[in-house]
Structure 1
C-alpha cells in the first residue's frame, strides 16, 4: 500500500510500505476513505516530537471501512463505516477507568502516527478497536466526520471544558487555526457573553468571524488593550491557547483576569516562560492536557441533531496520492488560506436530518 512516511526533520514522502496485519486479538484493519493533516503532524515534521522515529507512517484522524477484525473485537465487523479516534484506549488501566484515555498506560493513548503507524495511508491497523473507533451515523459525511477524530473533541475537552467556560463569560481564543475555530463552535454551546479571537493572519480572523467570534484582533495590534477595553479593564474569564508558541501562551496569561482560567491546547516545541512573579497573586488557573476523546459520541450526536456546526473548516480537498501537495498547502496556510485539508476520494451519501 501507499502511505505518508516520516524520514526525519523536514522530510516526509508518499511511499510504498507493507500492508498492516492483525497483530493482537483486539485489532482491526480499516481501509482509509478520508483522512486529514493535523498541526501536530507539522510539529512532527519540524522535529518537535522526538518520539516519532524515521520510518513512521503519520496521521491520527480518519474515516474508513473496517475490512478485518481480531477475534476479541465485538463492536464492529467488516463492512462497517467508522470514525477512527486519534486516541486509543486499553480500557483497563487506571487512567482509562477514569476516562483519561489520552494517558492510557496499557499501550494506548496517542499512538497512531506517533508510536505506531498512522492513518495517512490506504490502510491502518487500529489497536483496542472496541474503544478506539466509533460507528459513524449515516447522516454524517466523511469530510465532516473526520473532524471529530481530533480537533472537535480537542477543542471541546482541552479548551472549553478545561477552561471552564460558563454562560456570560468573556473568552479569548489565541489562534484561529482549525483548533481555535473549533473552540469557537464549542464555546458557543455554553453561551459566553463575548468571544474574542487573536491571530496574525487576516484570512483566519475572517474565518473566526464567520464561526461566531464577536471580536477579532491581529496579534500585532495590541490584543491585550482590546481585551481590557471590552471588559472595562477586568480581563478575560477564560483564555484558550491554540497555537503552541511562547508568545501566544504568554499573551493568554496577560489577558486573563484575576481568578480566571488559561487552557493550553497548543503543542509546544520550545520552553515557555511562566511569569510567576506576576501570576502568583492573581489566582489564575492554568490547565494543560492531551485530548481523551470521551466526548466524541456526545459531539457526534450534537452534530447530527444540528446543534454543532463544522461550518467551513474544510477548505481544501485532495486525493490520497496528493499527500505531499496537501502538506505543502497546509504548511503554507498564511498564503493558501488553508484551514483543514481533507484527503480521500470516498464520500458518503448524506441522509437529510430534520431540523
Structure 2
C-alpha cells in the first residue's frame, strides 16, 4: 500500500509500506477514499509547525470503506462507509473526564497524521470507537470535512457574544473561515468574512449562509455589512493567527477575539484594557468533548453543506500539486499565494488519474 510519509521540513514522499490488517479484537481497517489537506499539514510540511513525528504518515480528515474488523467489533461491518475521528483518547484521565479529550495525557502527542500514522494512505488502522457510519444520503466528500468542522464547533462553543446582534467578523475565507461563518450562523450571528485573496474571495461569496457576506477589507465589511464605517468589533475570529495586536484596539467593550491559527507570533496588548473593557482573548483549534459527533450531525443533517466548500479533488499521486494549490510549494521550498480559487482540497486516494 502507498502512504505519504513526512521526514522533515519540505521532505515528504509517497512510499510503499506494508499493508495494514486487523490484528486486535477491536481493530478496524479502512480503505481510505478521501482525505482533506489541513492547514496543519501545510505547517508540518513547510516547517512552520514542527510537531509531526519524522516517518509518520500525514493526513487526518478522512472517510472510507471498512475493509477489515476485529472479532469484537459490533458497530461497523466490512463494506460500511465511515468517517474517521483521528484524535485518540483514553476516556479515563483527568483531561478526558473534564471534556478535554484532545489533551488526553495517556496518548503520545496529538492526532493521527501528526503523532500517529494518518490517512494520506491507501489504508488506515483504528479501533471501533473512532469510526462512524455515514448515512447513504451523505457523500464521502462531505463527511471528510467532519474533523475540521469539529474544531470549529469547539471554538463556537467558547464564543459568548454580548448581544445576538453582535457585529461579527471572520478573517480568512479558507475552509475554517467558511465553516466558522456557517457555525456562527447557527448561533444567530451573521458574519462579515474578510479575505484579501481575490480568488478565494470570489469562491467564498457563493458559499456562505444567508446573512453572511464576504469582503476584501475590514473597511469594506464595516460599511457594506454593518452600514457603519466605524462599526465596532464585537466578535472576531482570526484564522490567520496574526491580527490580535492590530485589531485589539478596535474591539468593542465586552467583545471576544478568538485566534485559531497555528503560526508562531508574539503580541503585546494593554492588560488594563483587557479588564477595563471586559474583553475576552481566547484560542481554539482542537476537537473537544463531543464536538466530532456534533459536527458529524451538522453535516449529515444538511445544516452545514460541507461539500460546497470543496474546491479541488486530486489523486494522492499528485500530492505536490495539491499542496501547491494551497500555497505550499515543495519544489521551491516556499510558502506562496494560492494558485486559484482554492478552499478545501481533498485527495481522492483511490484515484490514479490526473487532477480534477
What interval of TM-score do these two structures reach, taking the shorter chain for normalisation? 0.7 to 0.9
1:112 deviates by: 0.4
SS at match of 1:188: helix
1:253 deviates by: 2.6
Structure 1 CA distance, aligned partners of 2:55 and 2:292? 30
Structure 2 CA distance, aligned partners of 1:76 and 1:108? 26
1:243 deviates by: 1.9
Closer, same or farther in 2 for the Cα pair 1:23/1:314, shift >3 Å? same
Structure 1 portions without partners, runs of 5+: 348-355
Partner of 2:295: 299
Q: How many residues align?
A: 339
Alignment of 1:83-122 (within 5 A): 83-107=83-107, 110-122=110-122
1:199 deviates by: 1.9
> Aligned to 2:180, which of 183, 189, 194?
183
Alignment of 1:67-146 (within 5 A): 67-70=67-70, 73-107=73-107, 110-126=110-126, 129-146=127-144
**Under a length normalisation based on structure 2, what TM-score does the superposition of the two structures give?**
0.84
Structure 2 CA distance, aligned partners of 1:42 and 1:335? 15
Partner of 1:243: 240
Contact 1:319 1:344 in 2 (8 A): yes
Partner of 2:171: 174
Closer, same or farther in 2 for the Cα pair 1:55/1:259, shift >3 Å? same
Structure 1 position 285 matched with structure 2 position 280: yes
Contact 1:87 1:292 in 2 (8 A): no
Give the RMSD, CA atoms, in angstroms.
2.8
1:311 deviates by: 5.6
Partner of 1:351: none
Contact 1:85 1:293 in 2 (8 A): no
1:74 deviates by: 4.1
Closer, same or farther in 2 for the Cα pair 1:228/1:63, shift >3 Å? closer
SS at match of 2:32: strand
Structure 2 CA distance, aligned partners of 1:254 and 1:229? 19
Structure 2 CA distance, aligned partners of 1:227 and 1:88? 44
Partner of 2:343: 339
Structure 2 portions without partners, runs of 5+: 328-335, 352-356
Partner of 1:352: none
